Amino acid sequence: MTFEKKIVICGASGMVGTLLSKQLHEDGHSLILVGRNAKKLEQAFPFQAEFLTWDALSKYNANEIRIIINLSGAGVSDKKWTPDYKPTMRDSRLQTTQNCVEICKKNSNIWLINASAVSAYGFYDYDHAPFTEGDTHKRTGTNFLQELIDDWEETALKAEFSGNRVTLLRTGIVLDRSGGGLPAMAKPYAFFMGGPVGTREQIMSWISLRDVVSAIKFIIKKPDLTGPVNLTSTGACRQREFSKALGKALVKPSAVHMLAFMIKATMGQMGEELVLTGQRVTPSRLLKSGFKFQDTDIDIFLETHYNSHND
């Protein structure tokens, strides 16, 4: 008996997972979509696929699986980082990744493509030389998110002990009007309160939603792209450049400078790590493998993105 090997997408209901699932289905792949509620997943995706809970996936025949793309994890910017929410962010990543590793143990041919983030390179409130996937030096400290990313990647790499290939998607800030951080960043501009924050020199390594999905589709055709792969555009920019571009795209002024102490007071540790710092990261391995980005200039991307939605 022969059958087509399947692609599992964990975290399919998220912003990236939703578009990725749709496009992989259109490309003819056989999909297994995984989440906490299989019925809700089935209602959300109007096409043929298998919809499983995590428990059902753990019992699935691993020999039928070719790739697991694990995008699961509670949003890092969805809520304030309270003592209650931090464990949620951590457990939603480490536990689901460990579940994927356990499935890999049953079939060493499964390729685990696991989400990660550019926070792996540390946090900086100034510009610096760009990090590539080969860089191991980084600023260390007590950053919650960096420690979480380190543990997340370490958990995913356990699959290598079973002989499985593992790819770590070190993703930058994903920009799209439909969700993620961009709507929140744009909100102050509606009240004429938009502008740069902190030192204004911290770097935003960003990537458009369509480029993230295109990059993941590109990776699954490149079996040699294992280990860390940076998913960031080639157009990383300073925070002041981003705020100016966003104001221009929204046809709103970008003149209100939000000082660091105000961010810390309103957002706490989340503001310190996500807003007041950043990383300059370059997608070295994607570029060397021949991937072509669609969105590389923050001014052009934001202006086109917002204008195209207003037409």
CA distance 58 to 10: 12
Task: Please tell me the predicted confidence (pLDDT) of residue 139.
Answer: 63
For range 156-183, the mean pLDDT: 96
CA 170 to chain centre: 7
For range 19-31, the mean pLDDT: 96
Sign of CA dihedral 14, 282, 97, 289: positive
Residue ranges of domains in the chain, CATH in brackets:
6-241+265-303 (3.40.50.720)
> What DSSP designation does 223 have?
T
User: Would you state the structure tokens that stand for residue 233, as one six-digit string?
Assistant: 């555009």
Q: Give residue 136's pLDDT band: very low, low, confident or very high (50, 70, 90).
A: confident
CA distance 103 to 214: 26
Taking alpha carbons only, the member of 94, 108, 122 closest to residue 280 is: 122
pLDDT at 309 over 80: no
Residue 112, SS3? strand
Mean of all residue pLDDT scores within the chain? 93
CA distance 277 to 56: 40
Share above pLDDT 70 across residues of the chain, in percent, rounded to a whole number? 96
Q: Give residue 307's pLDDT band: very low, low, confident or very high (50, 70, 90).
A: confident
Report pTM: 0.95
CA–CA distances in Å: residue 81 to residues 53, 69, 85, 118: 27, 26, 6, 19
Sign of CA dihedral 148, 179, 82, 261: positive
Task: Please tell me the predicted confidence (pLDDT) of residue 3.
Answer: 47
Reduced 3-state DSSP string for 40-106:
HHHHHCCCCCEEECHHHHHCCCHHHEEEEEECCCCCCCCCCCCCCHHHHHHHHHHHHHHHHHHHHCC
For range 95-121, the mean pLDDT: 97
pLDDT at 311 over 50: no
User: For helices 239-250 and 182-190, what crossing angle results, to 10°?
Assistant: 60
Taking alpha carbons only, the member of 87, 104, 90, 106 closest to residue 158 is: 104
> What DSSP designation does 172 have?
-
For range 163-170, the mean pLDDT: 98
CA distance 114 to 225: 12
CA 111 to chain centre: 18
Q: Which residues pair with 76 in a beta bridge?
A: none
